[in-house]
Amino acid sequence: MSESPWWRGAVIYQIYPRSFMDSDGDGVGDLPGIIARLDHVASLGVDAIWVSPFFRSPMEDFGYDIADQCDVDPMFGTLADFDALLAKAHALGLKVMIDQVFSHTSNAHDWFRESRESRDNAKADWYVWADAKPDGTPPNNWLSIFGGPAWKWEPRRRQYYLHNFLSSQPDLNFHNPEVQQATLDYVRFWLDRGVDGFRLDSINFCFHDAQLRDNPPKPEALRIGRGFSPDNPYAFQYHHYNNTQPENIGFIERLRVLMDGYTDVAALGEISSEDSLATTAEYTGPGRLHMGYSFELLVEDFSAGYIRDTVQRLESAMDGWPCWAISNHDVVRAVTRWGGGDAGAAFAIQMIALVCTLRGSVCLYQGEELGLTEADVPFEALRDPYGITFWPNFKGRDGCRTPMPWTADADAGFSTGTPWLPIPDAHHAMSVAAQEADADSVLAHARRFLQWRRTQPALRTGSITFLDTPEPVLAFVRAQDGVQVLVAFNLSASPVEWRLTQTARPLAGHGLPMGELHDGALRLPAHGVYVATLDAVD
């Protein structure tokens, strides 16, 4: 394992700063708050943290609308606070990855303020501008992910600008070499500061079709998947032209050249395209991104067959390194999304074991180690513009963004002020403090398992081979240096039995709810797991 780079097979813990820990009583988490709780993260046995945006921003999309890529928003602290966070994390043995949002900025960014003033200023071509059609309508049919046309009229220039997300998030024009260079310059700023890598937001959205061709319509039966509800008109199109353009590869290769000039750093790309697995395979590997992840395991689909087919499709296509996530700040928490309202601790423990035994690196979202459920945030408390627009059919992303419950107190130990989102009553009983006192809690199991995983080279960097199993059993073998580890899951709430043809010797120390093997019959309890070494694989 020592010969592999740190990121290969790493477990990366995602911190959403607004909701992690508030140090100053304003109800919003901050960098000093993260520092105060880093010991908890280190105790889990993870390898790194990924910190979602903390840059200067008007916060219309809660940090993903950046007004200055090289400064910390006062809400979160200062650059000195970030340096202290970096030092504390490194002292605890944690690598630090931060978000970078290349494709767009806030409309409050100095670059955009200059660009919108005229058609001939120094930054006139830094964003995607286009003339109206003769009838005054937008230049093409492209749509915003957040609803409606992806174009907004700017009277100063008498032109439209492109925004794939909120209208306050204008898209940069990556066809302009100056934009590419400016982006690489602020990447270098953070590398020089000592970060260990980046999570690249919507990395396939950097370039647009220079001809501004219309996206073709999508048949109604196909308006599903990838997190886009059929209620959202964005699902009505094949997005062939507003993202995932061939020129993006050249920029990714330039980024990799820059990063290769630093020691032991990594880039993780978030990818959502018409064929996200194919794009992930294309974007990762030698000379490109170190890792990539897509939304295939962040959707509603949940079965052994779906997970097996998804992973095998990517495995067969890619030469790079995958990264898997089943929860993050944009989707319903996995315990609720896949487990339903009745999912309990056993399901939460199983989900951590599942995502952490697939071949690849892993992103665990804050609160997954507690088995946190999705919060039901009432409309009057919603903050997410996405949810406000599509209420009530889609409630947005606030339900997975509620503050971390550190204690069972009324404020959950998160803030002495009023939290920016309400903390569900159910989360108080699932707090870190409550679970610390329970040796059989999700947190206790997560710690034992993650720390044990670090001792298993085959689970960190080995190959993966899926076994032919009936629903609801998912089974695969991870192999490295002659060691073969079988991992089998019962994805249902009822006991199952599956016949195993290989000779297996159960492994201990992982703290998982184990099944039992008798005369070749593997009996798995509800949401049970079986981990063993194999003598041979047929």
pLDDT digits (tens, 9 = 90+) for 435-445: 999 999 999 99
pLDDT, one tens digit per residue, over 358-377 is 999 999 999 999 999 999 99
What one-letter code names the amino acid at 111?
W
Q: What is the mean pLDDT of residues 233-246?
A: 96
In the sheet that 463-466 helps form, which strands lie side by side, from edge to edge? 463-466, 473-480, 483-490, 529-534, 504-506
Pairing of strands 361-365, 11-15: parallel
What pLDDT sits at residue 538? 45
Range of the domain at 483: 462-534
CA distances from 6 to 12, 58, 267, 369, 435 (A): 11, 35, 12, 22, 29
Residue 501: the pLDDT is: 86
Distances (CA, A) of 201 to 67, 167, 289: 16, 17, 13
Query: Does the annotation count 26 as an active-site position?
Result: no
Answer yes or no: is 140 within a domain: no
Q: Assign 485 to helix, strand or coil.
A: strand
530: three-class secondary structure by DSSP = strand
- 3-state class of 529 per DSSP? strand
Q: What are phi and psi for residue 155, nearest 5 degrees?
A: -65, -25
The tokens 């010991």 sit on which residue?
39
Q: Is the predicted pLDDT of residue 2 greater than 80, yes or no? A: no
What angle, 0 to 180 degrees and rounded to 10, lies between the N-to-C axes of helices 31-43 and 79-91?
Answer: 10
Q: Is residue 208 part of a domain?
A: yes
Whose CA is closest to 125, among 162, 164, 151, 150? Answer: 162
201 catalytically annotated = yes
CA distance 117 to 119: 7
Q: Is the dihedral of CA 216, 222, 228, 233 positive or negative?
A: positive
Residues 449 and 520 in one domain: no
Contact between residue 262 and residue 191 where contact means Cβ atoms under 8 Å apart: yes
Degrees (nearest 5) of the Cα angle 471, 475, 477? 160
Q: Is residue 286 part of a domain?
A: yes
Check residue 536 and give its pLDDT.
56
Based on its alpha-carbon atoms, the radius of gyration of the chain, rounded to whole angstroms, reads 23
**Within this chain, do residues 199 and 243 fall inside the same structural domain, yes or no?**
yes
Amino acid letter, residue 430? M
Tell me: do 489 and 429 sit in the same domain. Answer: no
For residues 448 and 469, membership in a common domain is answered with no
Q: Over the stretch 343-353, which tens digit does the pLDDT of each residue have?
A: 889 999 999 99
pLDDT of residue 228: 60
Q: Which tops the pLDDT comparison, 199 or 393?
A: 199
Same domain, yes or no, for 362 and 504? Answer: no
Residue 56: the pLDDT is 98
Cα–chain center distance at 155: 37
Q: CATH number for the domain including 331?
A: 3.20.20.80
Interval 200-238: pLDDT, tens = 999 999 999 999 999 999 999 888 755 566 689 999 999
- 537: confidence class by pLDDT, cuts 50, 70, 90: very low
CA-based nearest residue to 6, from 253, 229, 197? 197
Find the catalytic residue in 65, 99, 209, 270. Answer: 270
Does 139 fall in a domain? no
pLDDT of 283 strictly over 80: yes
And the tokens for 68?
């200055």
Report the DSSP pairing between strands 473-480 and 483-490: antiparallel
Residues 273 and 383 in one domain: yes
pLDDT of residue 460: 97
Residues 320, 385: one domain?
yes
Please pick, among 154, 201, 209, 330, the residue that the annotation labels catalytic. Answer: 201
In a domain, 32, yes or no: yes
Is the alpha carbon torsion for 494, 44, 55, 30 positive or negative?
Answer: positive
Helices 177-193 and 247-259 pack at an angle, to 10 degrees, of 30
Residue type, 139: P
> What percent of the chain is modeled with pLDDT above 90?
93
Position 138 in a domain: no
pLDDT at 1 over 70: no
Here the contacts of 476-484 (C-beta below 8 Å, separation 24 or greater) are 476/308, 476/357, 476/358, 477/534, 477/537, 478/357, 478/359, 479/537, 481/457, 483/457, 483/458, 483/533, 484/458, 484/533, 484/534, 484/536, 484/537
490 and 437 housed in the same domain: no
204 located within any domain = yes
Nearest to 489 by CA among 509, 519, 467, 461: 467
Domain-embedded: residue 159: no
Same domain, 429 and 470: no
Q: How far apart are CA 173 and CA 170, in angstroms?
A: 10
Domain count, the chain: 2
Predicted confidence (pLDDT) per residue in 37-73, tens digit? 999 999 999 999 999 999 999 999 999 999 999 999 9
User: Do 101 and 233 reside in the same domain of the chain?
Assistant: yes
Q: Which residues contact 25 (CB under 8 A, 6 or more apart)?
A: 415, 416, 417
User: What pLDDT score was predicted for residue 341?
Assistant: 72
Q: Last residue of some domain: 435, 453, 471?
A: 453
In the prediction, which pLDDT does 225 show?
A: 57
Q: Which residue reads 């979160």 in tokens?
A: 76
Q: What is the mean pLDDT of residues 450-464?
A: 97
Considering the entire predicted model, what is its pTM? 0.97
Q: Of 421, 453, 485, which marks where a domain is finished? A: 453
Residues 171-198 have a mean pLDDT of 98
Q: At what angle do helices 304-317 and 276-283 cross, to 10 degrees?
A: 40
- Whichever domain contains 508, its CATH number is 2.60.40.1180
Q: Which of 4-8, 302-306, 391-395 has the lowest mean pLDDT?
A: 391-395
Length of the chain: 538
Residues 442, 473 within the same domain: no
Mean pLDDT in residue range 305-328: 96
Per mean pLDDT, which range of 184-198, 219-233, 324-338 is the poorest?
A: 219-233
User: In this structure, what token pair is assigned to residue 125?
Assistant: 């071509």
How many angstroms separate the CA atoms of 80 and 356, rounded? 34
Place of tokens 């315990």: 335
Picking from 453, 488, 507, the residue at the C-terminal end of a domain is 453
Whole-number pLDDT of residue 342: 77
Same domain? For 381 and 517 the reply is no
Q: 422-425 long-range contacts, Cβ below 8 Å, gap at least 24?
A: 422/375, 422/377, 422/378, 422/381, 423/375, 424/373, 424/375, 424/376
Helix (H) or strand (E) run with residue 459 in it? helix 457-461
Q: Could you report the per-residue pLDDT of 77-110, keeping only the tens digit for each?
A: 999 999 999 999 999 999 999 999 999 999 999 9
What phi-psi label fits residue 352: left (phi over 0), alpha (psi between -120 and 50 degrees) or beta? alpha
131-179 tens-digit pLDDT: 999 999 999 999 999 999 999 999 999 999 999 999 999 999 999 999 9
* Mean pLDDT, all residues of the chain: 96
Measure Cα distances from 129 to 70, 161, 241, 404 in Å.
25, 5, 15, 41
- pLDDT at position 535 is 82
Q: What is the pLDDT of residue 224?
A: 75
